[in-house]
Amino acid sequence: MMASSSCGHEECWLLLPWLANGRLSHAERAGAEEHLRECAACTQELARQRLMCQVLTEPERVTYAPGPSFRKLMERIDGRAPARPQERPLGRRDAPAGRAVAWRPPGLAWAASFVLAIGLAAFAGTAYRWSLPRYATHTTAAGGTPGVLHIAFDRSLPVGEMEEILRSAGARVVEGPGTTGVFGIAPVTAAARLRADPRVRWVEPLTGTEESQGAQGRRTREP
Amino acid sequence: MKPTSYSDRGMVEPTYRGSASVAREVDLMARIANGDRKAFEELYNLYHRRMARFLTRLTHRFDLAEEVINDTFWVVWRKARDFRGDSQPSTWILGIAYRKARNALRSSARFGRQNLEAESLALTSDEPFRTEELRDWLEQALEQLPVEQRLGVELCYELGYSCEEIATIMGCPVNTVKTRLFHARAKLQKLLPQLAGAGVPAPHGAGRQAAQERQS
């Protein structure tokens, strides 16, 4: 049988809450109980302490359902909800925990912004080019020969009729036709007569700089 | 994780309200460390019931109590691997909850007003004693206590923790816990005539002894 020694009044008094809730060690309990046999004040205090335990462990009048709270927590753990509620007047924010979830590395945002800026710049350049008039060259320098007239007939004109026009003007075909239906004819002195014929769309002599410009072709704007 | 045996320390196995056995809670902690959500939910349900009442009583707001509980279990989920079984799961979890609750309460202006020393409202009643009535009086009286004393009372009387466990939870020496409870009891006796009973005063030496133990 283990011998138990009575503890002092002050020591027993301090231990009474845990004697009441049943959480004293065996040795402390034995010592306190020994003292209680001879101390009315501690016995009375123990009764009050037991009453405190009884009152505070009474069945709850309100039952708290854990389900909704647990779902909120799991949403937070899975990142589907903010780390902390937005409004919390009474509580201090747990900044490190909050930041751990809310903060994201800036790299991805910077990269996305950079790609977007490059794309916008490229689009602006393309749009500017599209807004400018587009030109096409219809004759080539190789086709241009000094002392030659370039002539274009109405496209519906039969070949025989073209030959008749040239013959009547005293001209002959010396080049062409090119891909655009332009002929080179000679001599250049036939130009005035040919221009008077309504079946001729245009006639241009190639001389000097004019010849050079004409060799590069008349520039016409395409729609 | 190996649980510390209560019998090895000559102590009584805890019987917290709504608690599972210590071995069961250790098993749940091990599974949570491996990411087991079912185990996490089971542990959460056990502690939610245990913590909701005293936190709601402490904060007077269920939403804040719930926030403290969820902040606590947020840490439990993330740090379960760090739990080595040096203490009981319940002591470890309540230690986290204690720090969260204390921080929430200290930052509350409302609580700051309550915590002023000067206020000392005597709660008296000529009505016959009833347990339910005493509980209402007691809840009002607890509000008069400083937060550390109040949490000590809740952990001891309501949740049934030992003095050593409360010291671990609060991160303070055992003698500090005894001192806090001593002063809390003295103040509650003044506030609650029902508890004062025949008016037996606390031994003067007990307070001095507690103070001396705390200093030693």
Lowest mean pLDDT, pick from A98-102, B135-139, B183-187? A98-102
B-chain residues near A18 (CB < 8 A): 156, 162-163
Q: Which domains does chain A have, with CATH numbers?
A: 9-56 (no CATH), 141-221 (3.30.70.80)
Segment of A88-92, A154-158, A184-188, B17-21 carrying the highest mean pLDDT: A184-188
Chain A touched by B143 (CB under 8 Å): no
Chain B residue nearest residue A15, CA to CA: B178
Please name the member of B74, B135, B200 whose beta carbon is closest to the beta carbon of A45. B200
Chain A touched by B203 (CB under 8 Å): yes
Mutate to test the interface with A, among B46, B131, B163 (most CBs of A within 10 A): B163
Q: What is the pLDDT of residues A175-196, one digit of tens each?
A: 777 777 788 888 888 888 888 8
Interface contact A91-B14, CB threshold 8 A: no
Is the pLDDT at B103 greater than 90? The verdict is no
Mutate to test the interface with B, among A2, A14, A26 (most CBs of B within 10 A): A14
Please name the member of A18, A69, A72 whose beta carbon is closest to the beta carbon of B156. A18
Q: Which domains does chain B have, with CATH numbers?
A: 8-115+128-215 (1.10.1740.10)
Cα gap B109→A35, rounded to integer Å? 45
Instruction: Give B76 to chain A, closest Cα distance, Å.
Output: 11
Please give the ipTM for the structure prediction.
0.71
Q: What is the pLDDT of residues A52-106, one digit of tens each?
A: 888 888 776 666 788 888 999 999 998 876 656 544 444 444 433 333 444 455 5
Confidence of residue B199 (pLDDT cuts 50, 70, 90): very low
Confidence of residue A114 (pLDDT cuts 50, 70, 90): confident
Chain A touched by B64 (CB under 8 Å): yes
| The predicted structure's pLDDT at residue A65 | 80
Chain A residue nearest residue B72, CA to CA: A73
Chain A touched by B132 (CB under 8 Å): yes
Q: How many CB atoms lie within 10 A of CB B23?
A: 9
Interface contact A55-B131, CB threshold 8 A: yes
| The predicted structure's pLDDT at residue A14 | 94
| The predicted structure's pLDDT at residue A88 | 47
Q: Which long-range contacts (CB under 8 A, 24 or more apart) does A214-220 make?
A: A214/A139, A214/A144, A214/A150, A215/A139, A215/A140, A215/A141, A215/A143, A215/A144, A216/A137, A216/A139, A216/A141, A216/A144, A217/A137, A217/A138, A217/A139, A217/A140, A218/A138, A218/A139, A219/A135, A219/A136, A219/A137, A220/A136, A220/A138
pTM to 2 decimals? 0.56
| The predicted structure's pLDDT at residue A1 | 40
Interface contact A97-B71, CB threshold 8 A: yes
A-chain residues near B101 (CB < 8 A): none
Unique residue bearing structure tokens 């060259």 = A137
% residues pLDDT > 70 (chain B): 68
| The predicted structure's pLDDT at residue A148 | 83
Lowest mean pLDDT, pick from A6-10, B68-72, B88-92? A6-10
| The predicted structure's pLDDT at residue A62 | 66
**Residue A169 Cα distances to A116, A138, A187, A205, angstroms:** 65, 26, 10, 15
% residues pLDDT > 90 (chain B): 34
Confidence of residue A132 (pLDDT cuts 50, 70, 90): low
| The predicted structure's pLDDT at residue B162 | 93
Mutate to test the interface with A, among B13, B40, B61, B67 (most CBs of A within 10 A): B67
Is the pLDDT at A139 greater than 80? The verdict is no
* Mean pLDDT calculated for residue range B43-65: 83
Mutate to test the interface with A, among B185, B191, B192, B208 (most CBs of A within 10 A): B185
Mutate to test the interface with B, among A24, A44, A52, A87 (most CBs of B within 10 A): A52
H or E stretch including A152? strand A149-153
Q: What is the DSSP letter of A60?
A: P
| The predicted structure's pLDDT at residue B203 | 60
Chain B residue nearest residue A19, CA to CA: B162
| Cis, peptide link before residue A187, omega less than 30° from 0 | yes
Lowest mean pLDDT, pick from A8-12, B132-136, B205-209? B205-209
Confidence of residue B117 (pLDDT cuts 50, 70, 90): very low
Interface contact A90-B59, CB threshold 8 A: yes
Is the pLDDT at B115 greater than 70? The verdict is no
| The predicted structure's pLDDT at residue B213 | 53
| The predicted structure's pLDDT at residue A206 | 66
Cα gap A22→A50, rounded to integer Å? 10
| The predicted structure's pLDDT at residue A43 | 93
Nearest CA-CA partner of A71 in B44, B43, B20, B49: B44
| The predicted structure's pLDDT at residue B108 | 63
| The predicted structure's pLDDT at residue B75 | 94
CB contacts < 8 Å between A and B, how many?
Answer: 159
Three-state secondary-structure class, residue A151: strand
Is the pLDDT at B198 greater than 70? The verdict is no
| The predicted structure's pLDDT at residue A130 | 72
Instruction: Give A110 to chain B, closest Cα distance, Å.
Output: 30
B-chain residues near A85 (CB < 8 A): 63, 67
Lowest mean pLDDT, pick from A48-57, A132-141, B181-190? A132-141
Confidence of residue B55 (pLDDT cuts 50, 70, 90): confident
Please name the member of B66, B135, B195 whose beta carbon is closest to the beta carbon of A48. B195
Q: What is the pLDDT of residues A14-42, one digit of tens each?
A: 999 999 999 999 999 999 999 999 999 99
Q: What is the pLDDT of residues B84-94, one digit of tens each?
A: 887 889 999 99
Q: How many CB atoms lie within 10 A of CB A159?
A: 8
Interface contact A70-B181, CB threshold 8 A: no
